[in-house]
Every structure is written in C-alpha cells, then in structure tokens.
Homo-oligomer: A and B are copies of this chain.
Amino acid sequence: MSYTYDYPHPAVTTDIVVFTVENDTLKVLLIQRKVAPYKGQWALPGGFVRIEESIDACAGRELEEETGVKGIFLEQLYTFGDPNRDPRERVISVSYYALMPLDDVDIKPGTDSADVGWFDVDTLPTLAFDHEKIISVARDRLTAKMNYSTVGLMFMPEEFTLSEVQSLYETVSGGSRDKRNFRKWLLALGIVEETGEKKVEGAHRPAMLYRLKDKTDVMIIK
C-alpha cells in the first residue's frame, strides 16, 4: 500500500531524552540501532508518528517499545526540523524529555533496537542524526528548571533521604550547596514528609527517610 499527496510531505518522528542519576552522574537512556541508517550506532529512543496518533502518545509508545520504560511523565522539549537532519528523507522530530529514578523500571531492548543502556551525558558515544544536539538542548532545559522548580525530585525513588536529594541537586545543577540551607528550603516547600523509617547504611548515624506528599504535585515554582 502507498500514500499519495499533491505536495511533498515530511515525515514526523518523536525522540525522547530520558535522564536519570546514578553514582553522582547524570545519565541518559540510549538505544543501539538495529537498522540503517546509522545501523549499530547509539541513538535516542523514538520513531515515526502514526497517522491517527497524537504526538504525545507516539512519544510514550516509542519509548516503551524500544526501551521497556513506561508510564513516566514526558514533557515536550523542542521541534527539530533542519532539512538534512535525516539521510533518508525530510524528517521533523518533536523531542520530549523526562526524568526518572534509576530503579523504577527495568530497561530492555525492543525489536528495533539491538541494545539499551544508560550513558553518562558528559561522555556520550558518537550518536546518530542530530541527537547530540537534542540531548544538549534537553540538558540546558533541565539545568534551568532545577533552579526554579522542584523537578529534581522526579529523580528520586519512592523513599529517600535529604542528603540524597542534596547530592542529586549538586550533581545535576553543579556546584555545592549548604546543607542547612538546602534542608530548610526543601522542608519549607512542604512537599515532602517523613516516613517514620530510617535508612541504615554503613558505620554512621541512620538518616530519616522522606517521601513526596503528592507524587503528581512536583513542579511548584519557587
């Protein structure tokens, strides 16, 4: 079957930048391409928008199909459309980004991808298409948002300690923060609460565990 139009139409894809934090480094989720072009190279998960599917739905579907990650909150980032960004045909890519705790979902390659993995954003392999550029824009947006919202908490698992949150903020937005001021700030926001449990780990005083009061409510502007 084929589809005919009076004027040339571009193809439209979504590409998804998923960030996480592991061992005090910011990482991004990549897949290894199984097909040409850029066969064997690493790329962002993503794919073509179906004709009866919304762009948001496409992003969620492609992410799940190619990496096994599902149900995370995706936000539209930017639309890239330079005429030669894809060697096959004119392709316009609507990019999305998301943040997730590392242990939330098991990642596994789909049928279109040979492999899936987390990569340190500062030492990425050579990437397919203009995906390096897309990741760079996503990272800038993330860094900016860290400074005027509570997005950072989307990296945290169900339960966490205040020191873990601080360490995460230091990793993602760079620089170090004063421990007392950081805790005052976070607690004053009123979006976390003590679980009553403690995290025992190593030869030192155990830390109080906290959780988000309302999981969806992350995003309050400072």
When chains A and B are docked, how far (Å) is the Cα of A78 from the Cα of B3?
28
Q: Are A79 and B76 in contact (CB under 8 A)?
A: yes
| Oligomeric state, in copies | 2
* Residues in B whose Cβ lies below 8 Å from that of A53: 83
12 example contacts (A-B, Cβ-Cβ < 8 A) are as follows A2-B6, A3-B7, A5-B11, A7-B51, A9-B11, A10-B12, A10-B49, A12-B81, A55-B81, A55-B92, A76-B78, A79-B94
A residues at B contact (CB < 8 Å): 1-12, 48-49, 51-55, 76, 78-79, 81-83, 90, 92, 94, 148
Looking at the assembled complex, report how far the CB atom of A110 sits from the nearest CB atom of chain B, in whole angstroms. Answer: 19
When chains A and B are docked, how far (Å) is the Cα of A54 from the Cα of B83?
6
Which residue of chain B has its CB nearest to the CB of A85? Answer: B54
* Residues in B whose Cβ lies below 8 Å from that of A76: 78-79
Q: Are A92 and B9 in contact (CB under 8 A)?
A: no
Looking at the assembled complex, report how far the CB atom of A133 sits from the nearest CB atom of chain B, in whole angstroms. Answer: 14
Q: Is the interface of A mostly helix, strand, loop or mixed?
A: loop
**Which residue, A6, A9, A11, has most C-beta atoms of chain B within 10 A?**
A9
When chains A and B are docked, how far (Å) is the Cα of A8 from the Cα of B4?
8
**Which residue, A8, A49, A53, A148, has most C-beta atoms of chain B within 10 A?**
A8
Looking at the assembled complex, report how far the CB atom of A141 sits from the nearest CB atom of chain B, in whole angstroms. Answer: 13
When chains A and B are docked, how far (Å) is the Cα of A79 from the Cα of B93?
10
* Residues in B whose Cβ lies below 8 Å from that of A78: 76
Q: Are B92 and A49 in contact (CB under 8 A)?
A: yes
* Residues in B whose Cβ lies below 8 Å from that of A1: 6
**Which residue, A1, A48, A51, has most C-beta atoms of chain B within 10 A?**
A51
Given contacts A55-B81, A55-B92, A79-B55, contact A9 B3 (CB under 8 A): yes
